[in-house]
Structure 1
Amino acid sequence: MTHWEKRSWIRLVVAALGYAAYLTLILSRADERPLATVPYAAALLWTVGAAIVASILAEVGMAAGTPRASRLTDDRDREIGRLGDHVGQSFVVAGAVGAMLMAMADWDHFWIANLIYLCFVLAAILTGVTKVVVYRRSLPEW
């Protein structure tokens, strides 16, 4: 497994676990009241921050155990990175459009923020899955 594939796995797993932790925290705070009344901002910021720190620490730890020569980037790595980023960006765009429509319809901030966070997580997961699949198989021929 290449260095860049390992990074994709780390980001994929951290994004999924971070969002799962956030959902668990928010749902446990609901206590049979409407979700929109649950205080979410601090939990969202802390889980995003913790996911970023966890990803950085995991990548640094992984890089420390990887020989420098295997961390070099070649054309295939760049193409896989570009393809994964392009595929994942679709959820960022969908989240932005959805949040804009929700804001125009005067939805509660809770739902808007959670849609944006969900779409960022889905983008990270889709990006990671795309990269891992392409690393395991090959780049598509267009």
Structure 2
Amino acid sequence: MAVEEKRAWALAASALVGYAVYVVLVLTGRHGRPLAETPYIGALLWTIGLGIVFGVVTGIWFGIAARNDGLQADERDREIGRFGDHVGQSFVVIGGISAMALAMFEVAHFWIANVLYLCFVLSALFGSMAKIAAYRRGMP
């Protein structure tokens, strides 16, 4: 398995786990309040921050392992990386447009933040899935 494919698996797993933890924290912190009034900022910042730390640590770890094995990224790895990034970036755009529309309709900050976070997670997940599929089945 290529190092970049391992990184894609790690990113997909951390995005899913981090978002699941966030959802559980928000839902258990409701205490009878409406969802839009639930405190979410702390859980949001912690799960995003820990996801970033996890991504950096696994990236360094896989990079060291690849260097020890004498592996380097080649043209195929770079092309697959660009392909996955393009797939993932589409969800960032969708999230930005959705958040802008919600802001124009003066929707609660809770929903705007959660739409953005969900789209960041979908970006990481689908971008990673596209990379994994390209490694397994070849480029489309």
Unaligned runs of 5+ in 1: none
Please state how far the C-alpha of 1:39 moved relative to its aligned partner.
0.9
Q: Sequence identity, in percent? A: 48
CA distance in 1, matches of 2:62, 2:96: 33
SS at match of 1:125: helix
- Tell me which residue corresponds to 1:129: 129
Q: Is 1:69 aligned to residue 70 of structure 2? A: yes
Larger displacement relative to structure 2 (28-37 or 120-129): 28-37
Q: 1:8-87 residue pairs with structure 2 within 5 A?
A: 8-66=8-66, 67-70=68-71, 72-87=72-87
Residues paired across the two proteins, number: 139
CA distance in 2, matches of 1:126, 1:136: 15
CA distance in 2, matches of 1:91, 1:32: 32
SS at match of 1:69: coil
TM-score in terms of structure 2 length: 0.94
Please state how far the C-alpha of 1:62 moved relative to its aligned partner.
3.0
Counterpart amino acid of 2:56? I
Q: Runs of 4+ in structure 1 displaced over 6 angstroms?
A: none
Q: Deviations over 1:19-71 (max 9, x none)?
A: 1110010011013321111111111011100111112222323333332521x
Unaligned runs of 5+ in 2: none
Q: Deviations over 1:1-29 (max 9, x none)?
A: 01111111111111111111100100110
CA distance in 2, matches of 1:75, 1:64: 20
CA distance in 1, matches of 2:3, 2:45: 29
Counterpart amino acid of 1:112? I
Q: Superposition RMSD on alpha carbons, in Å?
A: 1.2
SS at match of 2:73: coil
Q: Is 1:97 aligned to residue 97 of structure 2? A: yes
CA distance in 1, matches of 2:74, 2:121: 27
- Tell me which residue corresponds to 2:107: 107
SS at match of 1:33: coil
TM-score in terms of structure 1 length: 0.93
Q: Deviations over 1:98-125 (max 9, x none)?
A: 0000000000000000000000000000
